[in-house]
Amino acid sequence: MEKTFAIVCRPDALSRQIAGQIKEVLQAAGQQENNAEPDVVFVVGGDGTFLYAVHAYLEQWDRVFFYGIHTGTLGFYSDYRDQELSEFLDVYLSGKTREFSCPLIQVDSALGTQYAINEMRIENVARTQTIGISVNGEFFETFRGTGLCVSTQLGSTAYNRSLRGAVVQEGLNVLQMAEIAGIHHSKFLSLGSPLVMQGSSVLQLHAEDFSGAILGTDQDVQRLDKVHDVTVRISQQRHIRVLRGREVSYFHRLQSLF
């Protein structure tokens, strides 16, 4: 059993209370708090808190497990709600959790390499952004509009859903590209629909001018002013290891969204 832990919690009273209880129970069981190099990161809050925790410990992806409890509605990264704290901890301490692997989007550009668990996006609210799109080295189309969002299966219920992208069932290895306010008329045409691709697909996004545009990887944002090429794929090297304590139907999780 893992012996060290860290806790990442949403900054509200309930989440802090739950975090304090988790710490007390774990220490009583002989586990040690280690915020620098934990074996398990306990996440208390919502899916946004989970994303924050993942990015905080991303460089330790090959050794850290994430185990979440939701202090709101049921989330996609957690199996338990705050009122189920005792069961959440009992399952962990008894070693009955299962490992679940979450893919990461890898984004390569002149800015370096970034990773996202939900989505990457290019957005330009200052002016119309033109982007040449190639898939696996083959030119596909020229997009004009505010930008593009590329999501994983897990990320299909996040920003992608707000863009009227498809919600993708758990277990499918895919990349999905959705337009952000695309311009469509007789001179400027692009697909205009979300595109779901095999998880092995590689997207090449090119622009002569990305001035004013930002590159977002989950909640992290960087400016693209001097960048011309962005490559997007599902990482073959990195993934996130999540602990789950019980079977929760994907459609039950989905119902919590509406």
In this predicted model, what pLDDT tens digit does every residue of 208-226 receive, in sequence order? 999 999 999 999 999 999 9
Give a yes or no: residue 243 inside a domain.
no
Give a yes or no: residue 230 inside a domain.
yes
Pair (83, 188) in one structural domain: no
Catalytic sites, residue numbers: 47
Pair (124, 205) in one structural domain: yes
- Pairing of β 119-123 and β 129-135: unpaired
Given phi > 0 = left and psi -120 to 50 = alpha, else beta, which region is 254? alpha
More confident residue, 155 or 185: 155
We report the CATH number of the domain holding residue 56 as: 3.40.50.10330
Given phi > 0 = left and psi -120 to 50 = alpha, else beta, which region is 9? beta
Pair (119, 10) in one structural domain: no
Final residue of a structural domain among 32, 65, 96: 96
**For 18-39, what is each residue's pLDDT tens digit?**
999 999 999 999 999 999 999 9
Residue 1 scores a pLDDT above 70: no
Average pLDDT, the chain: 93
Final residue of a structural domain among 73, 96, 119: 96
Strands (E), the chain: 4-9, 32-33, 40-45, 65-70, 80-81, 98-109, 112-116, 119-123, 129-135, 138-151, 174-182, 195-198, 203-206, 214-217, 220-223, 229-244
**For 224-235, what is each residue's pLDDT tens digit?**
999 999 999 999
Give a yes or no: residue 123 inside a domain.
yes
**Domains of the chain: total:** 2
Pair (115, 233) in one structural domain: yes
- Pairing of β 229-244 and β 65-70: parallel
pLDDT band (50, 70, 90) for residue 3: confident
Pair (128, 84) in one structural domain: no
Give a yes or no: residue 244 inside a domain.
no
Q: Which domain holds residue 18?
A: 4-96
Pair (113, 213) in one structural domain: yes
